[in-house]
Amino acid sequence: MKLLNCARTKVLLVVFVAAIVFGSGIARADFTMSEPVNLGPVINDSYDTQECDFSHDGLQLYFAVWNRPDGYGYDDLYVSERETLNSPWQEPVNLGPNVNSSGLEEQPSISGDGLELYFSCREDYILRVCTRASKDAPWDSPVKIGPPVGSNEPAMEIGSNDAWGPDISADGLELYFQSNRGGGYGSSDIWVTKRATKDDPWGEPVNLGPNVNTSANDGSPCISTDGLTLVCGETSDMRASTRRSTNEEWEPAVKLNISFPCKFFGPTLSPDNSTLYFNGSMTCGEYGYGAGDFWQVEFIPIVDFNSDEIVDLADLLIMIDNWDTDNSLCDIGPMPWGDGVVDIEDLKIFIKYWEQENMPQTTENGE
């Protein structure tokens, strides 16, 4: 591996000195989104894939498929694995009769430790959870999540305690879901229920409030691994909210500008927050492999802070001038929305893109 050139070394030294000298706030980073890319024919096929969720190491993808012939019902849950984050996905495997039934299992969410699997059941709109003793053990039969989170009886009327579209936080202590229950702001809202430990029962659900929910149909919540970003939305209207810590309120949601020719839904963040996955509906058949496919878009941070179409020392000096402030222009890390302060996390992202534009490219023989 070649040594860094002197100019870059000096630049890094300046920044690290600035990190010590300067000395907080909340902000939202500036970024663009790449063109959507289809996940390909191993995950997507002639059937209709539905909402997905990643294991927290990014090596497993859980999702639902409608009417696949190896299923146990009309809508079953599957998992696909890969050896590394850069490896191709392997053929999906049905989760089996302990998880799936003759009914409609969908919208899976896997816990951070991989030992709990939450999902929806469209037949009665009561959430289920399956558990297992270890990642290598089979799943136990699902258990319904009743009051105060959901109902004991089938529900789907306005004001009822229905629940669907679950997403479990990485620490397993917050469960986000969609519901028509009373006390909301629209036809359906996003709610959260919490518990002190994984052995405690779930508490009374709380509406996420008007910064997240609207007068429309709000659903498909996805909480980031750090718990500071929430992506949600229905029928091509995806929005994201951030918060400074897990103890603070959500900031007003911002719409994600995804360029996609058809209806899409079911947002899911990759474990490192760099990529957003979603489902393209059956109207997009000519663009994919089946009635509904998985697609992905990358978050691309804007590191050309002075808008001169190059990433150079001038941009780095702008970051230094804003070190330890809440200037959203330079708050680009962690991806994709920043963390409310310009610091070493932003420097890491900047250096990555600065290298792409300024460092000499090596040839096949390493020169």
Total tally of structural domains belonging to the chain: 2
- 192, 208 contact by CB (below 8 A): yes
Please give the share of the chain, as a percent, with pLDDT higher than 70: 86
Q: Are residues 270 and 145 in the same domain?
A: yes
Is the pLDDT score of 365 beyond 60? no
Is the pLDDT score of 101 beyond 90? yes
Domain limit, last residue, from 301, 335, 350: 301
Residue 171 CA to residue 224 CA, distance in Å, equals 11
148 SS3 class: coil
Long-range pairs for 241-250: beta carbons < 8 A, 24 or more residues apart = 241/208, 241/211, 241/212, 242/26, 242/28, 242/337, 244/26, 244/339, 244/340, 246/174, 249/209, 249/211, 250/208, 250/209, 250/211, 250/212
Is the pLDDT score of 157 beyond 80? no
Q: Which residue has the higher pLDDT, 320 or 3?
A: 320
- The tokens describing 120, both together, are 């929806």
Return the H-helix or E-strand segment holding 265.
Answer: strand 264-269
Can you tell me which residue has the tokens 């009374």?
204
The answer to whether position 99 is within a domain reads yes
Residue 68 CA to residue 75 CA, distance in Å, equals 8
The answer to whether position 367 is within a domain reads no
Q: Are residues 242 and 348 in the same domain?
A: no
Can you tell me which residue has the tokens 């289920």?
128
The answer to whether position 96 is within a domain reads yes
Residue 156 CA to residue 173 CA, distance in Å, equals 26
CA–CA distances in Å: residue 220 to residues 53, 151, 208, 233, 269: 11, 19, 13, 6, 12
Residues shown for the chain: 367
Can you tell me which residue has the tokens 């012939």?
69
**Once rounded to an integer, what is the mean pLDDT over residues 80-90?**
93
Residue 297 CA to residue 307 CA, distance in Å, equals 23
* Pairing relationship of beta strands 174-179 and 164-168 according to DSSP bridges: antiparallel
Q: Are residues 19 and 125 in the same domain?
A: no
Q: Are residues 126 and 56 in the same domain?
A: yes
Q: Are residues 13 and 51 in the same domain?
A: no
The answer to whether position 363 is within a domain reads no
- The tokens describing 52, both together, are 């997905």
Range of the domain at 19: 6-29+305-358
**Amino acid identity at 16:** F
- 239, 256 contact by CB (below 8 A): yes
- 4, 227 contact by CB (below 8 A): no
Q: Are residues 133 and 167 in the same domain?
A: yes
pLDDT tens-digit map of 116-147: 999 999 889 999 999 999 999 999 999 999 99
Residue 18 CA to residue 5 CA, distance in Å, equals 20
Q: Are residues 263 and 217 in the same domain?
A: yes
Q: Are residues 140 and 14 in the same domain?
A: no
CA dihedral 103, 106, 109, 113 (to 10 degrees): 40
The answer to whether position 186 is within a domain reads yes
Q: Are residues 57 and 175 in the same domain?
A: yes
| Domain harbouring 232, CATH code | 2.115.10.20
Q: Are residues 71 and 209 in the same domain?
A: yes
pLDDT tens-digit map of 168-189: 999 999 999 999 998 888 888 9
The answer to whether position 128 is within a domain reads yes
Domain limit, last residue, from 284, 301, 318: 301
CB crowding 317-338: b at 16 or more within 10 Å, else e: bbbbebbebbbbbbbbbbbbbb
- The tokens describing 135, both together, are 């990642």
**Once rounded to an integer, what is the mean pLDDT over residues 33-61?**
87
From 63, 105, 103, 66, select the one nearest 80 (Cα to Cα).
63
Is the pLDDT score of 350 beyond 80? yes
Domain limit, last residue, from 262, 277, 301: 301
| DSSP assigned state of 104 | B
**Amino acid identity at 247:** N
pLDDT band at 282 (very low <50, low <70, confident <90, very high): low
pLDDT tens-digit map of 192-235: 999 999 999 999 999 999 999 988 888 899 999 989 899 998 77
pLDDT of the residue at 27: 35
The answer to whether position 364 is within a domain reads no
Q: Are residues 257 and 327 in the same domain?
A: no
From 97, 109, 126, select the one nearest 50 (Cα to Cα).
109
- 254, 30 contact by CB (below 8 A): no
From 125, 94, 129, select the one nearest 109 (Cα to Cα).
129
Average pLDDT, the chain: 84
pLDDT of the residue at 18: 33
Q: Are residues 152 and 42 in the same domain?
A: yes
Q: Which residue has the higher pLDDT, 70 or 208?
A: 208
Please give the share of the chain, as a percent, with pLDDT higher than 90: 43
360 SS3 class: coil
Q: Which residue has the higher pLDDT, 113 or 10?
A: 113
The answer to whether position 233 is within a domain reads yes
